[in-house]
Structure 1
Amino acid sequence: MRKHVLPLIFVFGLLLAHWIRPVPVQACTTTPEGQPAPTLQDRIDHASLIFTGTVVAMEGEMYEEVAVIAVSHYFKGGDGASQVKVGSWGDGAVCRRMVAVGESWLFYVMDYGNGTLHADWYTAGGAVAPPNPDFLASITELTAALPVTQPADAGQTAEIAETTPEAAETEVSPDSAPAFVTEIPAPPPQESPGAVPLPDDRPAQLPPSSFGFLPMMIVVLGLLCAFVLLALVVGVFLLRRNRGKVS
């Protein structure tokens, strides 16, 4: 029996090493050096739908949540729906972000034709942008020629305007379009709209050489050592018991 204990412990350790593998923690890395940042026109061209709205509900489990959004104004791809459901949210570790009920954003959305809308993560954390007047003015100019159907319920405009002080100070009539979209001052003529930088509202990013996987590796190695130690203790116990029987 003694000569079989050590081989059994060795095989048991190999099985543990095979079953328990270190899993790297995901980390959002920076844009490769030399790659130009996308322009606002690039961002508009990539998205299927662009609209402003307020998150009114969240459905589903964590990291599989779907945001129910009350649309106030379409800039691209609008079909007149006053509410849409958008999925594919996440956290900064996967270059995404979460949204919460009550938040108002400009949303970039992808429609893959399968009946489900997805947040457009063309840039890290860039599926949403703050609806500030200057930025919306640039988007309005770049999308003016695109055919869209605005939502029939204009009453939801007030929820968006509350997040924009400049828009909140402007009187809005029931028959008018959202104040922060139509009443924004035009951008300076000397600036090219296509070169407008995207708002930098992305999550904190780790460099490509980050060691975000180290905590997980330490935990896994600790568990592996504990199992090996347990196997050794059991082996020694069995060995002593067999010796006692022989004597």
Structure 2
Amino acid sequence: MRQSTVIDTLRGHIAAIEGVAARHAVLPFGVDTIDQRLPGGGIAAGALHEIAGSVDLADDASATIFLGGMLARMEGPVFWCLRWRDLFAPSLHLAGLHPDRVVYVEAGSDTNVLLAMEECLRHAGIAAVVGEVSRYSTTASKRLQLAAEASGVTAFVFRRASMPAALAEGTAAATRWRITAHPSAPLGIPSLGRPRWHVALERVRGGTPYSWIVEGADAQGRIALPAALVDRPAAAEDRQVAA
């Protein structure tokens, strides 16, 4: 056995003895300029993440598909907790998230959504738990983060129609994203091009906020940089945004 392997094994045993949680895997976007800004190179599993849509238009459609694309690239069932069934499920299928993988929990209120999320997060082996809320407290975010860490299940809080004041509240989330629609590339013919999004990483633990223009999720849940940006230097590909 190689020395480095022995050392890694010993470190694992020591961490287990000390009660230190093992590092969970990450889900990369497959877009280098985004993955390089995220600790570990992707969305951390066993952690809490926040997603929000447009402020000006109260438009959550792009954020919903962005989230659906991430979930599509995970393995296992997804529990989607919401106040009432106002989600257009076929749109998730277009981003690669098959309806057979999603279990909807209609909770009736933000408080009940958070309770349902915490209960679902106790069960290891599922892909992720999503909760749609308008507001939630720092304490609630800490409880969700601890539950996600314990089970290794990724948690997503979807801040529906969230205003800047709500997002200024403290949170234990590892990342916070805001996804808004962006004009697609003109095709030169009477047709629509692939959707584009303005993806803003507004908060990242251990990193720096940035934003990008990307092409929307395809049928496998993958996003991409527009062709015109692929060969640009990194400094021109992304734009720093306020934390």
TM bin (shorter chain):
under 0.3
> TM-score, normalised on structure 2?
0.22
Return the structure number with greater strand share. 2
Report the TM-score, using the length of structure 1 for normalisation: 0.22
Larger radius of gyration between Structure 1 and Structure 2: 1
